[in-house]
Chain A
Amino acid sequence: MNIVVCVKQVPDTWAEKKLDPADQTVDRKTVDNVMNELDEYAVEEALKLQESQGAEVTILTMGPDGATETIRKALSMGADKAVHVVDDALHGSCAVQTSEVLAKAISSLSPDLVFLGTESTDAGMSVMAAMLSERLGWPQLSNAGKVEVDGTTVKVQRLTDNGHDVVEGELPAIVSVVEKINEPRYPSFKGIMAAKKKPLETKSVADLGVDASSVGLAAATTAVADSTVRPPKAAGTVVKDEGDGGQKVAEFLASQKFI
C-alpha cells in the first residue's frame, strides 16, 4: 500500500501568532515553527499501517524552505520519503488554491490512501480533506476518530456532536484524523539519524503542471482587508474562597442576570 500524509508547518502553539502587516499573511518568520499538531496523528496512523500492512509512507508538504524541519521530523518518526512543494509563487495562497496544488501533487504520487490532520492550528478552517476529495473524486472520510482498512475498503468513525457516524469508502480515499485516534510516537535517535538519508524531493508549481499566476496572494479567492490585535481583557474580580465562594459566584451571576 502506498500512503501519502499531508503535513503542514505552522507557528508553535505557544508562539504569539500574528499577521504580517505588509500583506496580512501569517507571519512565519518571527516565530518558532513546528509540525501542525493534528498532522502528527495523521503520520502516526500511516506508520501503524506501514507496520501492520507493509505500506510505504510519503510525506507531502507545501510551504516555504524552512518547512524541511517539519518534513525531517515526520521522516524521523518513520515515514519513508517526502515531497516538498516549495515555490515563491505560492506565498499567500488561499485554501482553494492550496487544494489544487496538493491535489496535483497527490495525483503524481498515485497513493491508495491520503491522511491529514482535520484542522491546522494557524488557519483552522477544517476544509482541506473536503476540498481534496472534491478535486480527486475520492471518498471523503473526514473527522475520523478511528480508521480500519480491510482490503480495499476503509471504514472510519466520523465524530459528530453527540457520537459518531460509521462511514465507508473504497480506496483510494482521503482520511482526516482528530487526536482521539492514537498517541503519536516520538522520533528515536536512530530515527533521527536515518531521516537524514531519506529521499526528499522538492517540486515547484511548474513541476506539478500548475500555472504560477493562478496561485499566491494576488490570485487568491479571498482577501484580508484589515486586521487588529485584540486588546487584553480588563482584569475582573478574583476572590479567595472563605467558605462562601459558591455563593459569591451565584451573586455575580445574578448581578449579570444569568440566574
Chain B
Amino acid sequence: MAEILVLVEHVDGNVKKVTLELLTKARQLGEPSAVFAGSGFENAKAKLAEYGAAKVYVADDPELEQYVAAPKAELLAQLVAEKSPALVLVPATIDGKEVGARLAVKTGSGLITDAVDLVTGDGGFVAEQSIFGGSTVVHSKVTKGTPIVAMRPNSTAPEASGGEAAEEKVSITISDGAKKAAIKDRVIEQKGGRPELTEASIVVSGGRGVGSADNMKLVEDLADALGAAVGASRAVTDAGWYPHQNQVGQTGKTVSPQLYVAVGISGAIQHRAGMQTSKTIVAVNKDAEAPIFELADFGVVGDLFQVVPQLTEQVKSRKG
C-alpha cells in the first residue's frame, strides 16, 4: 500500500479534529503515516492509533514549534526524500497551507489547497475544490513531484479504525535559514469552550443587524445552546464588535458546517463566499429582500431581537 504522510496539527499533543479527518481520508487512498512535530506525542499517540495511523514519525525537537512554518517544511521534505510517499496531506489551515507551500517549493512539487475531497483516479489523485466562493466545482491533479494536498476542515467525516501508530523517531537538524521568523509569544485572546470556527459542525454568525458589540451576546447565547462556533460578517469585525479571527467571508474564513445560522446578515457576495457550501442554512433577518434568503433552507423575516432569544430558549428546553 502506498504510504501517505499526514501532518498532525496539535497543541501540546491535543490532536485537532482535522487531523482525524485527514487520517480517515488517507486510509481510503493508501496507508497513513502521521507526522508529529513538537512536544506532547504521549498525549497524541492513542488518538492517532484510533484513527488508523499505521506509523507515526515523531520529531520532538522543541524548535519545530518556535519558528513560523519553515522547520516543519524541512521535516516533511526530509521525510519525502527518505520515504518517497505517494502523497502528503496537510490541513488547509493557516499553518498547514504555509508548510505545504514551502514544501512545494523545496521539492518542486505541485500543491492543491482547500480540497474538499480527494480520490484515486486515472494516473493519480484527483482533488475536488469548491472555488470562487463555492460557485464552481473543479477537479485538479498535481502533475509534478510528490503531490501535496491541503484538505479543508469538515470535508471528511472522521471514522475510527485502529492502527498500530508504530513510533519511529526522526532526528532533524533545523537549518539556520528555517529559524528566521521567531515566535516570541503566543497570546490567547479568546478563551472558553467553543469549537473552532472552521472545524465546527454548527456555526452561528452575527451581522450588521445585530447592532453593537454587546448584542453579539445574543449570537453567543444561541451558539452555546447549539454547541456551535461563533462567526461574524465583515461589517461586524470592521466595526470592532467582534474579533477579526471570527470573520466569515471572502477576506475571512471559509466554513462549511452541517448547519449555518445567519443572524442579521444580509448575505452580500463577500459573506456568501465564505459560507455558501454549508449543508443547511438558516437565516433570520428583518429585510424580506435580503439575499441571504436565496441561500436559506429555512428563513424567518423578523426582528432578530425577538426571534433569536426565543430560539435560544427553545433549543435549551428541547435539549433539556
Residues of A within 8 A of B (CB): 13-14, 16-19, 24, 37-38, 94-96, 99, 119, 121-122, 124-131, 133-135, 137-143, 145, 155, 157-170, 173, 178-180, 220-230, 232-233, 235-241, 243-250, 252-254, 256, 258-259
Contacts and interface: CB of A to CB of B under 8 A. Distances in A.
Given A221-B143, A227-B137, A253-B282, A133 B102 contact: yes
Contacts of B306: 241, 243, 245-246
B311 interface: yes
Which 6 A-B pairs give the minimum distances between C-beta atoms? A241-B302, A246-B310, A221-B110, A250-B314, A127-B101, A246-B311
A247 B302 CA distance: 13
Contacts of B121: 225
B82 interface: no
Nearest to B127: A222
A141 to B, nearest CB: 6
Interface string B295-309: 111111111001111
Nearest to B110: A221
A24 B138 contact: yes
Contacts of B24: none
Interface of B: 68-70, 73, 93-94, 97-102, 104-106, 108-114, 121, 126, 130-145, 177, 180-191, 196-198, 202, 226, 237-238, 244-245, 250-251, 258-259, 269-270, 276, 280-282, 284, 288, 293-303, 306-315, 318-319
Contacts of A246: 300, 306-314
A86 B131 CA distance: 25
A165 B187 contact: yes
- Prevailing SS type, chain B contact patch: mixed
Given A128-B101, A140-B69, A238-B298, 8 more contacts: A140-B98, A161-B198, A165-B183, A179-B251, A225-B138, A256-B280, A258-B202, A258-B259
A259 B102 contact: no
Nearest to B295: A233
A31 B43 CA distance: 52
Nearest to B94: A143
Given A140-B98, A159-B245, A259-B318, A127 B113 contact: yes
Given A127-B97, A227-B137, A17 B110 contact: no
Contact of B270 (A13, A223, A250): A13
B293 A125 contact: no
A179 B243 CA distance: 12
A166 B248 CA distance: 24
A180 B244 contact: yes
A14 B269 contact: yes
Contacts of A18: 132, 136
Contacts of B237: 180
A166 B183 contact: yes
Contacts of A127: 97-98, 100-101, 104, 111, 113
A144 to B, nearest CB: 11
Contacts of B98: 126-127, 129-130, 140, 142
A159 B270 CA distance: 21
A220 B301 contact: no
A121 B69 CA distance: 23
A96 B100 CA distance: 11
Contacts of B184: 155, 165-168
B257 to A, nearest CB: 11
A178 B251 contact: yes
Nearest to B244: A180
Contact of A249 (B177, B185, B293, B307): B307
Contact of A139 (B144, B181, B300): B181
Contact of A238 (B143, B186, B301): B301
A238 B136 contact: no
Contact of B101 (A134, A222, A244): A134
